[in-house]
Amino acid sequence: MGRTMLIRHSQPASQPGVVREEVGLVWKREEKAKEKKKKEEKEKEKEEKEEKEEKEEKAKEKKKEKEKEEEKAKEKKKKEEKAKEKKKKKEKE
């Protein structure tokens, strides 16, 4: 729609080819701008996806660390219980 309006309003009778050429240039600029915008959107989506993946990875690492800590705590508890049982056995003897 923008192109047809530009032709209607700015087309002199003596030089119709010149205006059409300018309109073509305007159209090319518009197309380039659209392509640039699409590229920027794709890059932005890609960056967001990477950030999301990084967050998920960090969350997994934290979860693993937490599980390791819980495992260590369980092992420590077991050792303490074994030590208590040994003490009881020694006291009985």
* Helix locations, the chain, DSSP H: 2-10, 16-92
pLDDT of residue 91: 79
Is residue 3 within 8 A of residue 27, CB to CB? The reply is yes
The token pair that represents 56 in the structure block: 């998920």
pLDDT of residue 1: 46
Give this prediction's pTM: 0.48
Instruction: Check residue 14 and report its DSSP letter.
Output: S
How confident is the chain (93 residues) per 10-residue block, as mean pLDDT? 49 55 75 96 97 97 96 93 85 73
pLDDT of residue 26: 77
The token pair that represents 29 in the structure block: 């600029």
Residue type, 37: K
